[in-house]
Structures are given as structure tokens and as C-alpha cells.
């Protein structure tokens, strides 16, 4: 059955006979049928008319014409010289006789609004409420549309009108965002004034295809010896950081950001559901180490709505894609995706979607896969840029078999598992060598570090196994005692102060010295002091070898022998010094 259309004309004064004839002629030409024109007085329209035909609205009021002109001008302003642009826009501007599909709010609350009348609206499209608030369509039903509300929903009431924009949600991007703290909508929140956007990128975007990618084979060093030696991260990789609360997950991410100084890598830290004080602390840490100059913080704090927490990682990824498209390398940290999943679960339940395992909706896997798949190392034809993702997930009681952790483990290219017992025993970073893995492996490691690491991981695995076995035995032979002492020394070597990333030559010196048992006889309690003396002395006496390792990423046999000789002499001298 064909829809019966009704034409309603809204204005503050009734139309003249001539105007009525013109409106009826327009309706005849547009819809191909005679429509009865009904006039309704609307005092809010102080100049012009609004013509509603079914769900379509032609806004010829003064406010509507001004909005059309503003939108046209906003698309053209890329210069400080706004007066000529305004003049040009006025000269070129023509009234767009286009319908605007409008609807009404049926109910609103908890950061979502349910709408009717928007028959042709698309998923992810931005809608604007009559008070200027914006929302994003997320739920499409036969007779109802659900959308997220980005602004305070107290100003939106049932019966309020809402109109389509025909645009999807976008994030303002540009070089001016470096050094700033912004919301999930790109608005500054650091009190440093407005940010000039160079472009707008959609927050939802299809991931690069296989043809547009190249292998992950360039290292992105974290500066952390335990990670770079055994679980290397490459540019374009997705490496999960997983562990219980307060085990140092964010500290690893911040160390990695700090280590990118001077390496032509843009860093983006996305805070999801964090306390405002924590975000401030992160910013102050980056600023103290002068890492804020190449970093951006995108924050949707715990006090923000679930809607903003939901779009925050996608907004941060859009900003990362802007730099990647310019051929730059980008590191993005999602802290953390478990809170992101909780926010999405709350939204889905409000939309009355059927819950599944742990009350999460059925598409929770797709939520994170479509985000993390956007991390890539682009082909040279596409500029050669990259996005390296470090998603963070919090576990409960070390349970890595929970729903969200297992989902993200299956999406990523490896995980760094932080263990609570190791953390509180003083082993920091508290990386569990047995459960951590990098599926990229040595492809993302310099030859120097790869050669220096040798059998480190195997040695540590044997030590952990022997340690568990020998705790039930009091009578140990000399070989076992030496093996335990060697393993204990390795564990101490892998301890590293926070915000003190190692350069490549320092990592090589430590790894060669440790795996060749040059520190075998150093007491574990004296290990930190000895390591500090060893590195300082090596850089002072053999600075040319340090520069060679950093420049070439290679470890020759002669250089390895020189390191072993120097480390053995330094250990002997240290033992004499302490008596």
C-alpha cells in the first residue's frame, strides 16, 4: 500500500495566496501528485517557512538558510583569510532545495536516545537534535532507531525533533594535536586553547587489505631488556599487554612511548574509563621525559558517558591513521580494552540486545577485531607508514581464560603476561617468560640483540623448572647450585627501573655478559650496582663499539669477544673492590 503523504507548512504568519500557489506547484513537480497544503502556525519561526512532507523537511527558515551557508563555509575554510572566503561563499551560494529527513525522540536516558521517523538513516550516521546535541546511530530496528548521545542528554526530551546529517562520525586530525590532551570527540581538555584541524577522518574505517600491507620486519624497541630480547615487537604488530590490576601494564606502555624519543615515531595513548588523576599523571610523566612533544592523549575518563568510552579507541585509531597515511610510524596504546568492552556491554543492554557469555553481546569479538585489524605496516606504494598497537587488558585473579582476554589474545600477534607474584617479589617488569609470546619473533629484532640473546629464554625456563623442583630439597650438588645462581643472576639482570629504557648497545652488553656467565660469581644483592658500573665503564672505555652497535644493529664476533673480555675483567675488579 502506497504511503499517504501529508504536506504541512510551518511559519509564524500565514502564506499569501501567491506563496500558496508556488508551494503547491513545487509539491506537484516534486511528488507527482496533488497534495493538500496545511498551514500550522509556529511562533518559533520568526522568518521564512518549513515544509514537511511525510518524514522529509525543507527548511527555508532564517535559521535553516544560515545553517546551509555555515556548512558550506566550514568546508572551504582552510586559511586565516576568512573575509574573502566568506565573500566568495556568499557569491557562489545557492539555496539547496533538498529534503532533510527528520524524526522525533520517543525516549531518552542513560546516554542513549530512541528515535522514530528516520526511515533511511544509516548505521554510524550522525544525527543532530533540535537543541544542537549530536548522536550516532547504533541500533536499527524496523520501527525504531537507537543512537548514542555524545552531549548531556538532560537537554533532550521525548518529542524533541532530530534530523539526519548524512555524515558518519569523524575525528578531527592534524599535526597540531601533538602534545595535546583531547576528548574522544577531538575537543581539547588541557586548557591550552582550540586546536586547528587539518582534516577529518572517519572513526570507523575498513582495515587495510593484504595487498596494501607488507611484512612486520622492522623493530619497535621498548627499551625493556626482557621484552626486546625475548618478545620483540615490530612496527605494525599488535602485542597484547595482559595482567591483573596494579602489575605494571601501563608502566610498560609508558616506557615504550618514552623510548621512541628521537626515533621519528608518533605515539598516541588512549585512556578508556581511567580516573582523571591517572590521566593527569600519565601526561605529567610524558612531559617530564619530554615525550609529550611527539605524543597525543585521547581520554574518555571514568566520569564520561559509556558512549564516549565506546568511541574513544576508534577516535584514537583515526588520528593514528592520519599520521600513518603520511608515511610515519605510529605507536598506539589502548588502556584498557576490558573497560571498553564493559562500556559496550552497558550500551548493548540499554539497546535491549540479547546478552551472551558474561552478559556481553554476541558481536563483542567483532568490536575489537575491527579495531585492532587497522594496525598494519603499509606497503611502499601506500607510503610505508605503520600503526603498532599495544592493547591492554586487565585480568581477574590471573584468569587469562576469561571471555574478553581470550578474544583479544586470539586477535593479537602475541601477549606480554604480567604476573602478580613476580611483581610483589620485586621482579619488575613482572613478565612471565613462560606465558608470554611474540608471534612475529626474531623477524622484528635487530641481528645484534638476536645474537646476544642466544639461549636466554631456554635458560630461564630451565631455571624456573629447577627452582620449583629444588624447593623440596635441601641437599643440592654443586652443578645444581651453579645453575640456580646463574638463573637468579639472569632474573636480576632483567629487572629494570621504571622510565629508564635501555639503548640497543646497553641491551647487547648486558645480554652478552649474562649469557656467557661473566656475572656468575656476583652476589644477586650486588647485581644492580655492578650492572651500573659495567655499563658506565663500557661506554667510557669502548664508546666506539657502542656507536657501532647502535648504527649498524650488528654484533660481530670480535665485538662479542671484546664485551666478554671487558665484562670478565669488570667482574673480577668489582669482587676485589667489595672484598
pLDDT band at 17 (very low <50, low <70, confident <90, very high): confident
The DSSP bridge pattern shows strands 181-182 and 329-335 to be unpaired
On whether residue 286 sits in a domain, the answer given is yes
- Interhelix angle 504-515/527-541, rounded to 10 degrees, is 120
Statement: residue 249 has pLDDT above 80: yes
Q: pLDDT averaged over the chain?
A: 87
More confident residue, 18 or 235: 235
pLDDT band at 579 (very low <50, low <70, confident <90, very high): low
**Model pTM score:** 0.84
Question: In terms of domains, do 436 and 548 share one?
Answer: no
Question: In terms of domains, do 517 and 429 share one?
Answer: no
The pLDDT tens digits for 472-493 are 666 777 778 788 888 888 999 9
On whether residue 372 sits in a domain, the answer given is yes
Residue among 155, 353, 439, 457 flagged as catalytic:
439
Alpha-carbon distance of 179 to 198, in angstroms, equals 16
How many helices (H) and strands (E) in the chain? 18, 20
What the block records as the C-alpha cell of 435 is: 606465558
Sign of the Cα pseudo-torsion (513, 518, 520, 526, in order): negative
Statement: residue 89 has pLDDT above 60: no
Question: In terms of domains, do 275 and 347 share one?
Answer: yes
The pLDDT tens digits for 172-185 are 999 999 999 999 99
Statement: residue 87 has pLDDT above 50: no
Count the domains in the chain. Answer: 3
Mean pLDDT, to the nearest integer, of 520-535? Answer: 88
| Secondary structure letter of residue 377 according to DSSP | B
Domain boundary among 389, 417, 444: 444
Identify the pLDDT of residue 11.
81
Alpha-carbon distance of 577 to 555, in angstroms, equals 31
Mean pLDDT, to the nearest integer, of 462-472? Answer: 78
Whether 300 contacts 309, CB under 8 Å = yes
Give 182's strand partners.
188, 298
Identify the pLDDT of residue 519.
87
Instruction: Write 381-386 long-range contacts (CB < 8 A, 24+).
Output: 381/212, 382/208, 382/212, 383/324, 383/325, 383/326, 383/327, 384/214, 384/327, 385/323, 385/324, 385/325, 385/326, 385/327, 385/328, 385/329, 385/330, 386/218, 386/235, 386/236, 386/324, 386/329, 386/330
On whether residue 137 sits in a domain, the answer given is no
Question: In terms of domains, do 498 and 538 share one?
Answer: yes
On whether residue 123 sits in a domain, the answer given is no
Identify the pLDDT of residue 68.
61
Mean pLDDT, to the nearest integer, of 38-65? Answer: 74
On whether residue 86 sits in a domain, the answer given is yes
| Residue the block writes with cell 535553516 | 64
Give 297's strand partners.
181, 269
Mean pLDDT, to the nearest integer, of 317-340? Answer: 96
Peptide bond between residue 429 and the one before it cis (omega within 30 degrees of 0): yes
What the block records as the C-alpha cell of 577 is: 673492590
Question: In terms of domains, do 78 and 226 share one?
Answer: no
pLDDT band at 91 (very low <50, low <70, confident <90, very high): very low
pLDDT band at 54 (very low <50, low <70, confident <90, very high): low
Domain boundary among 378, 411, 444: 444
The pLDDT tens digits for 195-216 are 999 999 999 999 999 999 999 9
Question: In terms of domains, do 332 and 458 share one?
Answer: no
Question: In terms of domains, do 291 and 410 share one?
Answer: yes
State the Cα angle at 130 between 127 and 133, rounded to 5°: 55
Cα 168 to Cα 26, 117, 121, 136, 377, distances in angstroms: 31, 19, 11, 8, 26
Statement: residue 220 has pLDDT above 90: yes
More confident residue, 63 or 184: 184
Question: In terms of domains, do 480 and 400 share one?
Answer: no
Question: In terms of domains, do 265 and 281 share one?
Answer: yes
Alpha-carbon distance of 160 to 103, in angstroms, equals 8
Alpha-carbon distance of 313 to 335, in angstroms, equals 9
> Which of helix, strand or coil describes residue 3?
coil
pLDDT over 90 percentage in the chain: 60
The pLDDT tens digits for 145-192 are 999 998 777 778 888 888 888 888 899 999 999 999 999 999 999 999
Statement: residue 83 has pLDDT above 50: no
Question: In terms of domains, do 428 and 463 share one?
Answer: no
Q: Biggest alpha carbon distance in the chain?
A: 110
Alpha-carbon distance of 82 to 342, in angstroms, equals 45
Q: Which ranges in 263-391 belong to alpha helices (H)?
A: 276-288, 306-325, 337-350, 364-372
Q: Which of 36-40, 71-75, 361-365 has the highest mean pLDDT?
A: 361-365
Residue 257 sits in which domain range?
A: 214-303+314-444
More confident residue, 31 or 137: 137
Cα 309 to Cα 15, 71, 161, 271, 534, distances in angstroms: 48, 28, 26, 9, 47
Alpha-carbon distance of 193 to 181, in angstroms, equals 11
Question: In terms of domains, do 463 and 402 share one?
Answer: no
> Which of helix, strand or coil describes residue 211?
coil
Closest CA to 298 of 279, 275, 323: 279
Whether 265 contacts 237, CB under 8 Å = no
Mean pLDDT, to the nearest integer, of 410-417? Answer: 95
pLDDT band at 39 (very low <50, low <70, confident <90, very high): confident
On whether residue 145 sits in a domain, the answer given is no
Question: In terms of domains, do 477 and 411 share one?
Answer: no
Identify the pLDDT of residue 94.
46
pLDDT band at 69 (very low <50, low <70, confident <90, very high): low
| Secondary structure letter of residue 490 according to DSSP | H
Identify the pLDDT of residue 82.
46
Instruction: Write the CATH number for 488.
Output: 1.20.150.20
| Secondary structure letter of residue 395 according to DSSP | -
pLDDT over 70 percentage in the chain: 91
- 439 in catalytic set: yes
Identify the pLDDT of residue 79.
44
Alpha-carbon distance of 180 to 186, in angstroms, equals 10
On whether residue 186 sits in a domain, the answer given is no
Identify the pLDDT of residue 81.
47
pLDDT band at 72 (very low <50, low <70, confident <90, very high): low
Alpha-carbon distance of 284 to 278, in angstroms, equals 10
Q: Which of 34-38, 383-387, 477-481, 494-498 has the highest mean pLDDT?
A: 383-387
Domain boundary among 410, 444, 478: 444
φ/ψ bin of 124: left (φ > 0), alpha (ψ from -120 to 50), beta (otherwise): left
Statement: residue 239 has pLDDT above 90: yes
Mean pLDDT, to the nearest integer, of 434-457? Answer: 89
The DSSP bridge pattern shows strands 181-182 and 161-168 to be unpaired
Closest CA to 120 of 99, 95, 106: 99
> How many other β-carbons are positioned within 10 Å of the β-carbon of residue 401?
9
On whether residue 222 sits in a domain, the answer given is yes
Statement: residue 92 has pLDDT above 50: no
Whether 452 contacts 515, CB under 8 Å = yes
pLDDT band at 80 (very low <50, low <70, confident <90, very high): very low
Cα 202 to Cα 134, 167, 182, 253, 324, distances in angstroms: 16, 9, 17, 26, 14
Instruction: Write the CATH number for 47.
Output: 3.40.30
Amino acid at each position: 500500500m502506497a504511503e499517504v503523504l501529508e504536506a504541512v507548512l510551518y511559519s509564524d504568519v500565514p502564506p499569501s495566496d501567491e506563496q500558496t500557489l508556488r508551494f503547491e506547484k513545487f509539491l506537484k513537480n516534486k511528488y507527482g501528485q496533488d497534495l493538500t497544503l496545511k498551514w500550522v502556525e509556529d511562533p518559533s519561526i520568526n522568518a521564512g517557512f518549513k515544509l514537511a512532507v511525510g518524514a522529509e523537511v525543507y527548511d527555508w527558515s532564517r535559521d535553516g538558510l544560515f545553517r546551509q551557508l555555515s556548512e558550506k563555509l566550514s568546508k572551504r575554510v582552510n586559511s586565516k583569510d576568512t573575509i574573502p572566503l566568506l565573500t566568495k561563499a556568499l557569491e557562489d551560494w545557492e539555496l539547496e532545495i533538498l529534503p532533510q529527513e527528520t524524526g522525533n525522540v520517543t525516549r531518552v536516558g542513560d546516554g542513549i536516545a530512541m528515535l522514530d521517523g528516520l526511515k533511511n538513516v544509516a548505521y554510524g550516521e550522525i544525527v543532530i537534535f533540535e537543541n544542537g546535541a549530536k548522536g550516532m546511530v547504533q541500533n536499527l530496528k524496523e520501527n525504531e532507531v537507537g543512537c548514542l548521545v555524545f552531549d548531556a542528554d538532560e537537554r533532550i526530551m521525548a518529542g524533541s525533533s532530530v534530523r539526519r546529517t548524512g555524515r558518519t562520525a569523524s575525528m578531527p586530525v592534524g599535526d597540531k594535536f601533538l602534545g595535546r590532551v583531547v576528548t574522544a570527540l577531538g575537543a581539547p581538555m588541557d586548557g591550552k586553547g582550540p586546536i586547528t584541524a587539518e582534516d577529518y577522518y572517519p572513526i570507523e574505517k575498513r582495515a587495510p587489505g593484504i595487498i596494501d600491507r607488507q611484512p612486520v620486519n622492522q623493530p619497535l624497541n621498548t627499551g625493556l631488556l626482557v621484552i626486546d630480547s625475548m618478545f620483540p615487537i615490530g612496527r605494525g604488530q599488535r602485542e597484547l599487554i595482559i595482567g591483573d590490576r596494579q602489575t605494571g601494564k601501563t608502566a610498560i606502555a609508558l616506557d615504550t612511548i618514552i623510548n621512541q624519543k628521537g626515533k621519528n615515531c608518533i605515539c598516541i595513548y588512549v585512556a578508556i574509563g581511567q580516573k582523571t588523576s591517572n590521566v593527569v599523571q600519565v601526561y605529567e610523566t610524558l612531559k617530564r621525559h619530554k615525550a609529550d612533544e611527539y605524543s597525543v592523549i585521547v581520554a574518555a575518563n571514568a566520569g564520561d558517558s559509556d558512549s564516549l568510552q565506546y568511541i574513544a579507541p576508534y577516535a584514537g585509531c583515526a588520528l593514528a591513521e592520519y599520521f600513518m597515511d603520511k608515511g610515519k610510524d605510529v605507536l598506539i596504546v589502548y588502556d584498557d580494552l576490558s573497560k571498553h568492552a564493559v562500556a559496550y556491554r552497558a550500551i548493548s543492554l540499554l539497546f535491549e540486545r540479547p546478552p551472551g557469555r558474561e552478559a556481553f553481546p554476541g558481536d563483542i569479538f567483532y568490536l575489537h577485531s575491527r579495531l585492532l585489524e587497522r594496525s598494519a605496516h603499509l606497503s611502499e606504494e601506500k607510503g610505508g607508514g605503520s600503526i603498532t598497537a599495544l592493547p591492554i587488558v586487565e585480568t581477574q585473579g590471573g584468569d587469562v581464560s576469561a571471555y574478553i582476554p581470550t578474544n583479544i589474545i586470539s586477535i593479537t600477534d602475541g601477549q606480554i603476561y604480567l604476573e602478580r607474584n613476580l611483581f610483589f617479589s620485586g621482579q619488575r617488569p613482572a613478565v612471565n617468560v613462560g606465558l608470554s609470546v611474540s608471534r612475529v619473533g626474531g623477524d622484528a629484532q635487530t641481528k645484534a640483540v638476536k645474537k646476544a640473546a642466544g639461549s636466554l629464554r631456554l635458560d630461564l625456563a630451565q631455571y624456573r623448572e629447577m627452582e620449583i623442583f629444588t624447593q623440596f630439597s635441601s641437599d643440592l650438588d654443586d652443578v645444581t647450585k651453579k645453575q640456580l645462581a646463574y638463573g637468579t643472576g639472569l632474573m636480576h639482570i632483567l629487572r629494570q627501573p621504571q622510565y629508564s629504557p635501555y639503548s640497543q648497545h646497553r641491551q647487547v652488553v648486558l645480554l652478552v655478559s649474562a649469557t656467557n656467565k661473566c656475572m656468575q660469581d656476583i652476589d644477586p644483592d650486588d647485581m644492580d650496582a655492578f650492572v651500573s658500573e659495567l655499563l658506565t665503564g663500557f661506554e667510557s672505555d669502548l664508546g666506539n663499539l657502542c656507536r657501532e652497535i647502535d648504527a649498524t644493529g650488528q654484533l660481530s664476533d670480535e665485538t662479542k669477544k671484546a664485551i666478554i673480555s671487558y665484562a670478565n675483567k669488570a667482574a673480577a675488579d668489582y669482587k676485589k673492590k667489595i672484598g
